[in-house]
Every structure is written in C-alpha cells, then in structure tokens.
Structure 1
C-alpha cells in the first residue's frame, strides 16, 4: 500500500506499451476511477483533465496529458522528460513523487495482436541520451505508412521489427546498451543487460497489471493506491490474438520474443 494522495505531490505516470490493453486501462484511469475531484472529460473525444483541487496534474498519460514525451514513450524517454513536461504544463516547478505504472501481456498474444493491428507508430522518436534513434539504427520494415496486409511470416522475418521483445525494450534503461547503436557490443550481452534492466525497473514500478489477469490487476491497483474503480474490469478472451491459429509459427514467435517470455515469467512471480 502506498501513502498516495492525488491532492498532494503524488503523480501517476503510465508507461503504455502497445497492445497490452493499455487503452482500456488508460481510459479506466480517467473515466472509471473514484477520485476527488474527478477527471473532467470532453463529451466527444478521449482527452480528460485530471487536476487536483490546487489545479495540479496527478496523472501523466495519453488520455490526460497526451503524448508529451513522445508517442508510446518508453522508460528511457519518460525518465528524462516527465518532470520537465509537468513543470511546463503547470507553469512552475514543484517536488513530485512519481509513481510509474504499466501493464504487461502474454508476449506471444501481444506480438500477434501487434501484427494484426498493423500500426507502425512511425511518429515515435525513440529518444535516448538526448537524441532520437537514426534510420540506420532502426530501419523501417515496411514501405507504406501502414504495415497492413503483411503475412505473419514476413512480420517475423524483419530483423528490425520493434515488435520483437517490445516489453523488455520499453522497460529497460537503454542508455546501458548505448541506446539503439548495436555496434560495439555483442547481441548476447546487449540482450542480457536489457533483460536485467527491465526486470529491475519492473520491480521498481509502484504498480503493474497483467492483461491476462484483469480482476487481480484491478484488486492490486485498488489495494496499492487505496482507490476504487466504479465498475469492475472484465476479462476479454475474445481478442484478435485469440482468433489466430499461429501453431506452425510457435518456435519463431518464441525465438523473436525470448526476452519478453523470460520477463513475463518474472512478472508473474512478482505479481
């Protein structure tokens, strides 16, 4: 249990990893959480204002602040950005207690979901050590703006696909592996450092949920922050990933997501 008070200096920072059910959770934070004062949402659209009685922000997420640190900003990007952006939005500096929260999902289902989604998130900056990743460091896997209609075989076959081990990469401190520059370090060493960093940072989060265990995740959030959701979360087992027969690709899926699979096992034990 955290001594959490939205009307003091506590701020929730939601690290939203693609295709982990983060949109549902993010919407629940602004529309379904019993807080005082409640978030004020636009009648049409997704944006909500989540302010304390002193007109300070208590939630840093897409639904509340927008992508102020970049589209689907990862741990590395958020670390060097959140406080500055909050200062800008509030018009002054204050000492805050940042509580990082995130969601993880079964890596194979998450990967299949990303493939089915077809999104490329081209606008993501992948900032690290003060500069965005270069095209040479992360070449595109696709020629069009959307990567829709590609086969799973093709999706698995692109060595630069950011879907591979996405959860590990987005939770790791990429400065430890020279950001996206893969020269000067073996892939094995890079993988090992990233995985250990992701595990460490996951342990340091104030809360993380698991998409595959929605009821437990809700209960854990409510117990951690002493806050309640107005409506209970529902477990959705009819997702895009559930409808796909990927049995003949199982080994390749595991190979492409070997770090995420290990991270997920670690997460389930922590959970």
Structure 2
C-alpha cells in the first residue's frame, strides 16, 4: 500500500509542477498534463485509502498519517469542484503543491496505534465517528478554498490599486469570480463544520456521557465556527477586501485547530 502512495505522490508532484508551469507560461499542454496526471493520482489515492481501510480494519481517518492523506484527497475533490464550476485553473497552482506536501508528510509520518484506534472506533454510536471526522476534514478543505480565493483576491486588488499589473494578473480569475468562489466555499465549509461539531457532540455524549470536555480542539473549533458565522452574517457589508482578510485569518485558526491543538493534549486523539 505504501508503494501505491509513493506512486500517487509522484503523480501529484507531476501534476503540481505542470499546474505551476501552466500558470506561469499559460501553456495548454501543461494544463492538459496537469489534469491527466491529477486524475491518475486521484484514482490511485482513492484506491490506497480503500486498501488502508481494509488492511487496518478501521475507517482511515484516525491518526495523523491517515488524516493528512485524507485531507489531501479532499483538497483534490474541492479543487475539482471549483474547476468544474468556475474553470479556476489558477487555483491548482496553489492547491496541488499543498496536496503533494500533505501526502509526502503522510508517507513519512509513523502510523498510529491500531489498538488505540479500535478503542475509539468501537462501542456505542460507533457509526458517528467516521461521519464526524469526515465532515470536519471536508470543512477544512472548503476553508482552504476560501483561503486560496482570498489570497487571489488580495493579490489582484493590490495590483489594481497600485496600477502595476504583472503577467500573472491576467491569469487569475476575475475579482467577482474569486469573491463568488470564496462566498460559496465558506457557506459549504460552515455547513460541514456545523454538522461535524454536532455529530461530535452526539458521539461524545454516547461514548462518555459528556457533551463538552473543554478540550483545546473543541474550544478552537468553536472559535472557528463563530468566526465563519460572523463572516457569513456580515457578508453583505464585508464583501471584497475585508472578507478576504477574514478568510485568511479564519484559515490560520483552522490550521491551529487541525495541528496546534494536537500538542496541547486533551480528549481528542485523532487528526
């Protein structure tokens, strides 16, 4: 299975390189190569995730290695949806290198304790665990799209303000398209995060009898939820530059929730 992931990593790297070349040089051949190798890599990645599930006997979203791998997979899905709806190929120049890096880390990180995984993924309300974790990782992927759209918006807006247009300016989606991508992604991400938190509360209640453990990841997830709720609530007033900066700040909080809280200890042992 690891050999399949290595092959997948190589394919993702080729796709990322050609996505960057397509963005820099605007070559159709590079775009096609990026798309074809990405499709091959995604297929291999999907098979690897399925084999991991079968091999270890539990849902492949428990340890840090599995979480990095699954997050990379969901980022590809998010990019594919954005590409289909908005034809935002420039998003691939940001997303695919991150996907490659995440899968590289997943390959290098030591596999988690299978016994510990079984202790979490067994017992009452066991069916909620994969739903809870999948919803949250998919929310993280959506918030990454918000972040990428925010960066593209701020980049274009700065060049428009300074009236100094680089060669890359015309290769980015229009400001209205980027703003629409961000607005759509934040709505999807917020919905997924809300459902993820809700299923987590139910699962925790069934497993330990407590709705809230005052866990660092729980507190950080709640703060993330409140920030994106505020962003959606004030979306009409915060369109454009202000919304883009909130999108960047929100993603910083998402990264802290995903990684930073892990080293603070607490109830959560996955992701």
Under a length normalisation based on structure 2, what TM-score does the superposition of the two structures give?
0.27
Q: Which has the higher helix share?
A: 2
Under a length normalisation based on structure 1, what TM-score does the superposition of the two structures give?
0.27
